[in-house]
A and B are shown apart, each in its own frame.
Chain A
């Protein structure tokens, strides 16, 4: 009950947030929150460390951008198209990667994501180093003009809340419980008769699709899809966001991504502009050394200890 009250409070805050803050920054926060939450679905709840999620995030951005700009699809169809293709990429990469565990799994996902990156660099439809620019925002459901930042914000909020609810539902479903069992002891889950590979693959595809939805939405917000979304830096950044916020907690990745994106944004124009990666690195080291459960994980531990 307490958590659902917390969620309602957060939703209420998000509904009024654009009155106080710059909507585009908020939309960026939301997209990254969804991305990190999708990533957390397989790392936090499935125990699979993927180092290739940028391929889904950036790939969907390109697919959506192309669908909206060249084919002139309606905005929501374009986002669905991008997310769907990211899911298909997830199916292909997942099929290969889930056969191995631990570091080998991470390396396979990284290698496949790098292949996707080089595909994006050299394909003419992505615009290579220039990126895909001037993606039209269009109209939501053919009615609401998304060129207006406030309308766009509520459109993004709807997508991200839907994605987040899907993750919450998945984690609490029997499927999520089996996933947790596999994470905690894969052999035992197998001996109980669960088809471990299928569960892992399904979780991987779901995570890839939602990461794709986040990337697709981001490309519509900024009207731009670029290589930095598909670069392995992005895969690393989402790991950082998830760990900092709290691995295996539902709200953690959202909090972590909010902290990282806000920091990047605020530091970009100050005296520390050239030092952003260093600052983030120091935060990461501090997080791993002193509060391993992440921000939300530590708060939850304190909460439990004191009540």
Chain B
């Protein structure tokens, strides 16, 4: 019996090795197509910085795996689903792109998911935040790296309710991401015994928030939750300041705030605000070293989306290097069995629903006198374990998990 087993094992190992030897990289090039918002509301959060981050990952491999060159192509999707889907489809059909990366804005990510599903190509989502991407809207090859709205809800929403913020009014960006974020935070607030007294949807992107802020003031809610991101969050916080929302006794909870937003708002305006982040540059030696390199190239410290793009691309390339193949299923299997350890995440696990589970952090914006210089903005007050932030695999409603 045991001899037979050994023979079988040996045979299967041989078969595997011969499989690896014959597998190769299609077209002699590993090509990554990066779609991001280069000019719109999310260009500071993602934008140029994600291209730099992806290039840094490629440079770590010396720009090539074996004989195969690694190429990066990028385009501005202008936050429009149709532009993103058309570009991705053309890249996949004619330009030999092997994987899609970044994809800030949920509607864009969902549109590219449709294309990637048909083409069976790996999609490394960093910027889009909606948790449906690894639940109802999941695809077998879609990987969601940086964060999701559930994690943000658990982090910021949970912390705010704990401090007595038990009545909420939402200002929500009117597309899939805003809906998902509001829904996830509502669940957290209600589970903790709080209540949601109302909400208003604003167009995406919006520049004039005055009427929405007035509605938030009239609602009498203790907490005004901003279920939006990027320039929308900045504009809403500025409008809230002008209308004296905080002076009137209400509090703002920014549900998705990035380091670049704090930089734009300034510590005077943002101090004391709590935010859930996937990455903070000044956390440990690895993150500091990587961020310093990023800073030298861009003049800015990276946001979580940018660091997440680096991590996802690096992990993808590492799997290709380890398997010697760029075949989607082979690479995907390798990516799942290897833990993610880099400047972005430690001990990250890629689940079968596409979710990359890693620790998240609840941070508070420093007071101006606490900050020692530019970009020294946050102090991490709690580490949120991955399972708590993202939930368990059993909770995922992804049909192909």
Instruction: Report which A residues bind B (CB closer than 8 A).
Output: 22, 24-25, 28, 121, 128-131, 133-134, 147, 149, 222-224, 226, 228-229, 268-269, 273-274
Contacts and interface: CB of A to CB of B under 8 A. Distances in A.
A125 to B, nearest CB: 15
Nearest to A264: B83
A133 B89 CA distance: 14
A274 B111 contact: no
B114 A134 contact: yes
B76 A130 contact: no
B114 A133 contact: yes
B114 A24 contact: no
Contact of A22 (B90, B114, B118): B90
Contacts of B24: none
Contact of B82 (A25, A128, A229): A229
A222 B82 contact: yes
Interface of B: 38-39, 73, 75-76, 80-83, 85-87, 89-90, 93-94, 106-107, 110-111, 114, 118, 174-176, 203-204
A121 B174 CA distance: 9
A140 B114 CA distance: 21
Given A22-B90, A128-B175, A130-B176, A274 B114 contact: no
Contacts of B38: 273-274
A116 B110 CA distance: 25
28 contacts: A22-B94, A24-B90, A25-B90, A121-B174, A121-B203, A129-B107, A129-B204, A130-B81, A130-B106, A130-B110, A131-B82, A131-B107, A131-B111, A133-B85, A133-B114, A223-B85, A223-B114, A224-B81, A224-B85, A226-B80, A226-B81, A228-B80, A228-B82, A229-B82, A268-B83, A269-B75, A269-B87, A274-B38
Q: Which applies to chain A's interface (DSSP): helix, strand, loop or mixed?
A: helix
Contacts of B85: 133, 222-224
A7 B120 CA distance: 40
Given A222-B82, A228-B83, A229-B82, 18 more contacts: A22-B93, A28-B86, A129-B204, A130-B106, A130-B107, A131-B82, A131-B111, A133-B81, A133-B114, A222-B85, A223-B114, A224-B85, A224-B114, A226-B80, A228-B80, A228-B82, A268-B75, A274-B38
Contact of A24 (B89, B110, B204): B89
A222 B86 contact: yes
A224 B82 contact: yes
If over half of B's interface residues share one DSSP class (helix, strand or loop), that class is named, otherwise mixed; here it is helix
Contacts of A223: 85, 114
Would you list the 5 A-B pairs with minimal beta carbon distance, nearest first? A129-B175, A130-B107, A226-B82, A131-B81, A130-B176
A224 B76 CA distance: 19
A132 to B, nearest CB: 10
A222 B82 CA distance: 8
B209 to A, nearest CB: 17
A133 B110 contact: yes
A224 B90 contact: no
B110 A273 contact: no
A247 B175 CA distance: 39
Nearest to B173: A129
A229 B83 CA distance: 11
A59 B279 CA distance: 43
A129 B111 contact: no
Q: Which of A129, A223, A274 has the most CB of B within 10 A?
A: A129
Contacts of B83: 228, 268
Contacts of A134: 114
Contacts of B76: 268, 273-274
A43 B249 CA distance: 58
A269 B114 contact: no
A134 B137 CA distance: 11
A263 B174 CA distance: 32
Contacts of B107: 129-131
A6 B271 CA distance: 70
